[in-house]
A = this chain, B = another copy of it.
């Protein structure tokens, strides 16, 4: 199935901006990669910023983590947390473009700054509620839910960045390994 012209432009922009940053990605090259004439970009999105804003629009949907959560949680720490790691890493991977963009071009796109604040906050909040209930249910030790939640997010975010920016390419930290070792250790500290 073919992509629409707009989508071709958006995809090409995502790729190039990831490779070279906002300023490094020229409209000419975007057009080239999309297999289109440069003018077409402008006719669709007005200007370069307009293209990137369309990219953001597309990738910055408020996510479904909350629903995923309600559907998949079975109130068993180990299984739940392992599932959540996968979901979160998947979500980060999906949003990699905009996450890296927001780091690279901080300030340039205010919507992004807001989003980057929102994602971890939301995630911490969801986890906080989860740990609270688990404490109530006496399924885990009596811990401070907020602390546990932030640590969990820090570990996840640290892992994500380590593998995408610090050690890209190398497969030293495959996710299964991460879950079986690092997350498992984390889980043990809750029991």
Contacts and interface: CB of A to CB of B under 8 A. Distances in A.
Interface in A88-111: 100, 102-107
Nearest to A143: B185
B21 A105 contact: yes
A129 interface: no
Contacts of A188: 189
Contacts of A19: 107
A147 B117 contact: no
Given A117-B167, A189-B189, A104 B147 contact: no
Interface string A131-172: 000000000000110011011011111110110011110000
A46 interface: no
A70 interface: no
22 contacts: A21-B105, A100-B103, A102-B165, A103-B104, A106-B168, A116-B165, A116-B166, A117-B166, A120-B162, A143-B185, A144-B181, A144-B185, A147-B182, A150-B181, A150-B182, A151-B186, A153-B158, A154-B158, A154-B159, A155-B155, A156-B158, A189-B189
Which 6 interchain pairs have the tightest Cβ spacing?
Answer: A189-B189, A154-B158, A158-B158, A23-B23, A157-B158, A154-B155
